[in-house]
Amino acid sequence: MIAQAFRRWKHARRIRAAESEIAARSFTPKPHGLDAPLVVSLTSFGPRLPVVGKVLQSLLRQTVRPDRVILWLTEADAGLLPEEVRALGAEIRTCPNWKSYKKIVPTLLEAPDAYIVTADDDVYYGPDWLAGLVARAGAGVVCHRGHRIALTDGQPRPYGDWDWNIGAPAAGPLIFPTGVGGVLYAPGIFHPDVTDAGKFTRLAPSADDVWLYWMHRLRGSRPEKIGGKFRVVEWPGSQTQNLRGGNLGSGGNDRALQAMIAEYGWPE
């Protein structure tokens, strides 16, 4: 009980620091300097709509200026979005209920020639979060947080056996970007199937990280993880529902891995 209370106290302190840091941002954002538009794309849903405004505030006030910040919602959720969130300045768009895939698939369909940076709707992002990704955009796929896939006889071991949240910069085909830290994807980096809703809902319905990894690895990507360990600071009230517990605790990621291997093979 004491340990739990201490963890709650530490988390509350981090939240206060994050809120203060966002409120204090007063810099003038710099142009991104890329050779194509830069779009930050995310999604949200019912229980998190009151919290997503905090995420948008951190994304709209970065040291590098994106061309667009798009929040994708279903029609039903768009009707529930608080007015103060609408007033922040992000584009609010609607799309089919593709669950977590809403954060990238609609943007891929609308802006296939853009650099797309995905973000989660429940996490604090620091002021240089986007700048770090943009600086390494030439790698094609860049992430702040990633795992290193463990292999046995040339095939991936169960997800729980991987080297999680690696603590140093690394690049190569076994670097597995995790969306919670944000990922930059360059134009043309994905296999054409990436927007095939029939396939991603059948093969990896709740494991978009797995699907996206396969889709860029099939095009020969060498993902790059930048920086040290990414600390995930989740906004209070955002974890009433989440996919991580299902993907880890009930083997959702492992089922998706096996389904992808059966469909596409292991991308060498």
Residue 239 pLDDT grade (very low, low, confident, very high; cuts 50, 70, 90) = low
> What does the pLDDT read at residue 10?
76
Do 260 and 151 contact (CB within 8 A), yes or no? no
Residue 37 pLDDT grade (very low, low, confident, very high; cuts 50, 70, 90) = very high
User: What number is the average pLDDT over the span 83-103?
Assistant: 97
pTM for this one? 0.93
Higher pLDDT pick, 1 / 247: 1
Both structure tokens of 202? 């059948």
> What does the pLDDT read at residue 17?
85
Residues 6+ away with beta carbon under 8 Å from 65: 29, 30, 31, 32
Supply the angle between the helices 208-217 and 252-264 in degrees, to the nearest 10. 30
Do 224 and 171 contact (CB within 8 A), yes or no? yes
Supply the angle between the helices 52-60 and 2-24 in degrees, to the nearest 10. 40
Q: Is the pLDDT of residue 180 over 70?
A: yes
> What does the pLDDT read at residue 247?
47
Give 19's DSSP letter.
H
Any idea which residue has 């947080």 for tokens? 145
Both structure tokens of 161? 């056996």
Higher pLDDT pick, 5 / 53: 53
Please give the share of the chain, as a percent, with pLDDT higher than 70: 92
Residue 249 pLDDT grade (very low, low, confident, very high; cuts 50, 70, 90) = very low
> What does the pLDDT read at residue 8?
72
> What does the pLDDT read at residue 246?
43
What dotted CATH number matches 2-195+212-240? 3.90.550
**CA-to-CA dists, residue 115 to 40, 79, 108, 163, 184, angstroms:** 9, 29, 10, 28, 7
User: What number is the average pLDDT over the span 170-179?
Assistant: 98
User: What number is the average pLDDT over the span 195-222?
Assistant: 98
